[in-house]
Amino acid sequence: MSCSCHGPAGIAVTTTSPYDQCTACAKKHVVKAWNLFNEFTYTDDNRDVISGNLRLAADHLMYAHRETALLARNLAVVIEENRDGELTDEWAELLSAVRRDYRAEHPECAAQGDTLKNKET
């Protein structure tokens, strides 16, 4: 899979390794997992894709953003073990962490979001 803003340098690449440290890739995986988790017809097929995407996100974060990677990995384990009933704020915590990490590496995106937010008010 290619990435249009890969790593902190924001260099467009045509190939991406699962272990490349890239918050853009990680954010894509987390958002996909979260959407599948909240899908109306949540099924075992979704469960496998959710845990797989969470583990892919952890790979993209494990060296540069270890704490966020652990959040993703721990949530994947809960999903894999069908322990969804134990979840409290794990999704919100992971989404917040991956957004924070992404914005720290891509401040231009945060600035653009602030500009759009200011236009709405």
Tell me how many domains the chain contains: 1
Query: Does residue 120 fall inside a structural domain?
Result: no
What digits encode the pLDDT tens for the residues 28-86? 999 999 999 998 777 888 899 999 999 999 999 999 999 999 999 999 999 999 998 99
Identify any residues that bridge with 3 across adjacent strands, giving them in sequence order.
13
> Strand, helix or coil at 69?
helix
Residue 33 DSSP class: H
For tokens 């853009």, what's the residue?
A: 24
Query: Does residue 68 fall inside a structural domain?
Result: yes
Residue 8's pLDDT is what? Answer: 61
Residue 15's pLDDT is what? Answer: 75
Mean pLDDT of the chain: 87
Q: Which of 11 and 52 is assigned the larger pLDDT?
A: 52
State the chain's maximal CA–CA distance in angstroms.
Answer: 45
> Strand, helix or coil at 94?
helix
Find how far residue 79's CA is from the centre of its chain: 15
Tell me the H-state helices in 1-43.
Answer: 23-37
Residue 89's pLDDT is what? Answer: 97
Q: Which of 86 and 15 is assigned the larger pLDDT?
A: 86
Query: Does residue 98 fall inside a structural domain?
Result: yes
Residue 1's pLDDT is what? Answer: 44
Q: Contact 37/98 with Cβ under 8 angstroms? A: no
The residue range of the domain holding 67 is 3-113
Query: Does residue 119 fall inside a structural domain?
Result: no
